[in-house]
Chains A and B, each alone.
Chain A
């Protein structure tokens, strides 16, 4: 059974149909890359899954249960984590605290512990976060304020923050945009490592077709809110509709 199933998803903002009848399936432990020109609805798709937008109609099923109508925090509790295209970090917190906030859903939230400074939970989750920091090689930036960190580090910390939720579905919205060529390679490698170590299903939105297709197990192309192609990366890239969407008619 598919981990995430989207059936006939529609959302419109006023007169603009941002997504029109999108069907999508994500299998456990696979990397599915979503491609499409600017404004084709990729990020809208993410926002619908994570509960930020309410779809006009359609169904989103995660592990057999519907995600429709759930608020974003409940979607996160189900085991869905995401990053944002334009970083949404907690700029006044340290890198460590950003990752610790990612553990929020895992915390046993006892107000008395907060008021009386009982820190057992805190220490338990700190150990998990420290392992993540090692994994992401963020040690040098652990206690730096995240707004003081370079862009590449911020981007990596945001992936770390999403990973801290121990998600079964990880949605990465353009994780390599804006990075240097070297950092792009590193991040691509990091994504394969995440796949091997944490084994989430990964839904990836990417503009860099070379890296996006190298990482993908399967690929989906969206244009104007409509799914135009689906299959192996090679198939999708050669699909006439995709070529038309990116290059235009001859």
Chain B
């Protein structure tokens, strides 16, 4: 029985006691992951957390606001190199991470301007142009990219009794957790509602007083902020940067993660990030097969399960709601 007694109760993040139990159980299980698995698994989980941040941002833009962007690799590169240069200047990593996000956010705001005029595939082409241009600029400018040697970045030091993998694991777990909460908050607020309204019917949204200019640019800026932070996390995790990490294939990773994970579902971004990290790991013997798997996965998802992995999860929960089926 689901009895709501006040409006504020309905706005809670987790409403039902049982949901609370399994969510906290899941968080605890992930938190204790280093105690019962190998460092290799911990490293993969760290990559999932890192990618979750960027995919959440991409999902805000594509899934919630309905603006298709192929420029993700560009924002990722801007975030990563901003972080790289700042960290080489001796700026502490936390500050550099925020700066990476803000820098990418500023570029996101600027790239958002074509979205005021262009829709659908035309916007996709314009943002694709941005992504490719950023890659070319970094690839051809030794000052920005550190030339043939790339940038070498000071990595984290081992924290307390944790080893290197565990230090990164817990830091990225916390960052990803914060971004997940932030995303839930945004999408359930007036802002998220405005984003969804623009996606569902932009003319009606505008006639009801939603400024398309403001909310489209805001969506681009927030989404790029997320991706920029992910870029910073990438630089911090790998310890070096070169332009070849930010080709169009990186953008494809984001797109696959958002679609396979589940459009406009926060849980979907986590599952999607896990998908694009884990599949290449499982198939490390057959690297050529990865794009093929991605392609097939997108086609299957679009045909059979438009809400992706998260949609499957939702349906499963709906099914078991009446357990034990008496």
Report which A residues bind B (CB closer than 8 A).
50-52, 71-73, 75-77, 81-82, 84, 88-93, 97, 100-102, 104-105, 107, 109, 111, 113-117, 119, 121-123, 126-127, 130, 161-162, 165
Contact A105 B208 (CB under 8 A): yes
CB-nearest residue of chain A to B204:
A88
Contacts of A126 in B (CB 8 A): 7
Contact A121 B190 (CB under 8 A): yes
Q: A104-B190, A114-B185, A114-B189 are in contact. Are A89 and B204 (CB under 8 A)?
A: yes
Contact B200 A72 (CB under 8 A): no
Contacts of A89 in B (CB 8 A): 200-201, 204
C-alpha gap A102/B208 in the complex (Å): 6
C-alpha gap A73/B202 in the complex (Å): 11
Distance between A50 CB and nearest chain B CB, rounded to angstroms? 5
Contact B191 A71 (CB under 8 A): no
Q: Would you give 28 A-B contacts (Cβ < 8 Å), ordered by A?
A: A52-B203, A52-B206, A72-B207, A73-B206, A73-B207, A73-B209, A77-B209, A81-B207, A88-B203, A88-B207, A89-B201, A89-B204, A90-B204, A101-B194, A101-B197, A104-B210, A105-B209, A111-B191, A114-B186, A115-B185, A115-B186, A116-B185, A117-B185, A119-B189, A122-B11, A123-B8, A123-B11, A165-B209
Contact A127 B210 (CB under 8 A): no
CB-nearest residue of chain A to B194:
A104
B182 located at the interface, meaning its Cβ lies under 8 Å from any Cβ of chain A in the complex: yes
Contacts of A113 in B (CB 8 A): 189
* Given pairs A52-B203, A81-B208, A119-B11, 6 additional interface contacts (CB within 8 A): A71-B206, A88-B201, A89-B204, A92-B200, A93-B200, A119-B189
CB-nearest residue of chain A to B212:
A73
CB-nearest residue of chain B to A90:
B200
CB-nearest residue of chain B to A96:
B10
Which residue of the partner chain, among A90, A102, A105, A109, contacts B196 with CB atoms under 8 Å? A90
Q: A101-B194, A111-B191, A114-B185 are in contact. Are A76 and B207 (CB under 8 A)?
A: yes
CB neighbors of A among B1-25 (8 A) = 7-8, 11, 13
C-alpha gap A126/B194 in the complex (Å): 16
Distance between A53 CB and nearest chain B CB, rounded to angstroms? 11
C-alpha gap A88/B210 in the complex (Å): 14
C-alpha gap A127/B264 in the complex (Å): 27
Contact B201 A117 (CB under 8 A): no
C-alpha gap A159/B189 in the complex (Å): 23
Q: A92-B200, A93-B196 are in contact. Are A127 and B209 (CB under 8 A)?
A: no
CB neighbors of A among B35-94 (8 A) = none
Q: Which of A73, A100, A123: most chain B CB closer than 10 A?
A: A73
Contacts of A117 in B (CB 8 A): 13, 184-185, 188-189
B211 located at the interface, meaning its Cβ lies under 8 Å from any Cβ of chain A in the complex: yes
Contacts of A165 in B (CB 8 A): 208-209
Contacts of A52 in B (CB 8 A): 203, 206-207
Distance between B238 CB and nearest chain A CB, rounded to angstroms? 29
CB-nearest residue of chain A to B182:
A115
Distance between B200 CB and nearest chain A CB, rounded to angstroms? 4
B155 located at the interface, meaning its Cβ lies under 8 Å from any Cβ of chain A in the complex: no
Q: A113-B189, A123-B7 are in contact. Are A73 and B200 (CB under 8 A)?
A: no
Contacts of B196 in A (CB 8 A): 90, 92-93, 97
Contacts of B182 in A (CB 8 A): 115
Which residue of the partner chain, among A100, A115, A119, A162, contacts B193 with CB atoms under 8 Å? A100
CB neighbors of A among B188-245 (8 A) = 188-194, 196-197, 199-201, 203-212
Distance between B109 CB and nearest chain A CB, rounded to angstroms? 14
Contacts of B194 in A (CB 8 A): 101, 104
Q: A90-B201, A116-B185 are in contact. Are A161 and B193 (CB under 8 A)?
A: no
Contact A101 B210 (CB under 8 A): yes
Contacts of A81 in B (CB 8 A): 207-208
Contacts of B188 in A (CB 8 A): 117
Contacts of B7 in A (CB 8 A): 123, 126-127, 130
